[in-house]
């Protein structure tokens, strides 16, 4: 029989052997002092150091409190979270980074917001950060853009310390670099009670950050993807069809106007230019062609969507 816990803590890690034991012992102290049953799910994302040896030793010391998964290579944080969510058995599921910058002392307060106050998701907000300015300012701009696009009033989408009601993480699929957009994915799935709490951010104690500036580029591309999918994922014709129709009409009306203008000038013996000598004519034809292509893209998207295996997966809140 599968055992359930009060909380599950999913910890993705990559080359964090120095901090793992300290993190697990810290989580254990917090849970023991608050009388919470717990499990820690460690996802080794293809580490090349001694992280897995440390995890095996922790499994021996903490027994049932530890679950561990090791990837054959580095797949990224989203893949690690996806597998961790699949394995989680806690009523409330936490995510935190393995570098000790997220404090397990925040667990009781965040869990209370889920269990007693009815939130579906609680996200940490690192108001005071100990990262270099080269990471802080791009992060501020990124979070502002994400708030505007999603309508979710979170200050820190990037914070690794979050907690979820279990049915939230079982209803969403995390892929690519979508781990920072889990609140957006959850909102699209029907979980609208999203809260935020200010958390303590600690200076990195061991090693160095595994994320470079390329994550900002990937983050914005994924923001475009998740925004589009949340609005038009089940009805691509609304986007492509509308845009294609507008371009087709603009191109068609402009072409007609050019032809009518030429005929009018011919009838009144006015000086005129050949239609083929007018750049506007070619731009109009281009608009018509692009409009037809966009409309066909929307039509093909609808055909693919109608044959998708998960198109009728709906979130059912209650049954009687």
Mean residue pLDDT of the chain comes to 84
For residues 204 and 122, membership in a common domain is answered with yes
Per-residue pLDDT at 259:
86
For residues 240 and 210, membership in a common domain is answered with no
The answer, yes or no, to whether residue 226 has pLDDT greater than 60, is yes
Per-residue pLDDT at 313:
55
Q: What is the CATH number of the domain that holds 53?
A: 3.90.550.10
Which residues does residue 67 pair with via DSSP β-bridges, in sequence order? 41
Least confident of 47-61, 62-76, 134-148, 208-222: 208-222
Question: How many domains, the chain?
Answer: 2
Among residues 183, 216, 232, which one ends one of the domains?
A: 232
Per-residue pLDDT at 303:
82
For residues 84 and 174, membership in a common domain is answered with yes
Range of the domain at 254: 236-306
Most confident of 177-186, 217-226, 302-311: 177-186
Query: Is 18 a domain residue?
Result: yes
Per-residue pLDDT at 40:
95
Query: Is 319 a domain residue?
Result: no
pLDDT in tens, 70-93: 998 888 888 899 999 999 999 999
For residues 144 and 41, membership in a common domain is answered with yes
For residues 9 and 133, membership in a common domain is answered with yes
Tell me if 100 sits within 8 A of 204, measured CB to CB. yes
For residues 96 and 38, membership in a common domain is answered with yes
Query: Is 318 a domain residue?
Result: no
Instruction: Please count the CA atoms within 13 angstroms of the CA of 294 that sit on its side-chain side.
Output: 18
């Amino acid at each position: 029989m599968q055992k359930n816990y009060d909380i599950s803590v999913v910890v993705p890690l990559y080359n964090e052997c120095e901090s793992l034991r300290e993190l697990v012992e810290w989580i254990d102290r917090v849970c023991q002092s608050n009388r919470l049953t717990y499990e820690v799910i460690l996802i080794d994302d293809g580490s090349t150091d001694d992280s897995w040896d440390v995890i095996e030793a922790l499994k021996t010391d903490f027994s049932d409190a530890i679950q561990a998964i090791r990837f054959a290579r580095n797949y990224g944080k989203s893949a690690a979270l996806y597998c961790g969510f699949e394995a989680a058995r806690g009523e409330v599921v936490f995510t935190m980074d393995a570098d000790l910058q997220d404090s397990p002392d925040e667990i009781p307060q965040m869990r209370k917001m889920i269990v007693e106050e009815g939130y579906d998701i609680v996200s940490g907000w690192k108001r005071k950060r100990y990262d270099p300015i080269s990471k802080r300012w791009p992060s501020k701009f990124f979070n502002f853009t994400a708030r505007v696009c999603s309508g979710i009033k979170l200050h820190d989408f990037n914070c690794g310390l979050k907690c979820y009601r279990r049915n939230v993480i079982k209803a969403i699929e995390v892929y690519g670099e979508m781990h920072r957009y889990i609140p957006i994915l959850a909102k699209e799935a029907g979980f609208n009670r999203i809260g935020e709490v200010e958390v303590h951010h600690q200076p990195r104690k061991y090693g160095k950050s595994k994320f470079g500036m390329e994550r900002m580029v990937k983050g914005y591309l994924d923001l475009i993807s998740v925004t589009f999918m949340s609005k038009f994922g089940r009805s691509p014709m609304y986007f492509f069809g509308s845009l294609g129709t507008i371009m087709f009409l603009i191109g068609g009306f402009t072409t007609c106007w050019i032809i009518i203008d030429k005929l009018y000038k011919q009838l009144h013996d006015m000086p005129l230019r050949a239609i083929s000598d007018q750049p506007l004519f070619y731009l109009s034809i281009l608009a018509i062609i692009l409009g037809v292509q966009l409309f066909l893209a929307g039509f093909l998207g609808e055909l693919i969507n109608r044959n998708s295996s998960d198109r009728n997966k709906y979130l059912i809140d209650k049954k009687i």
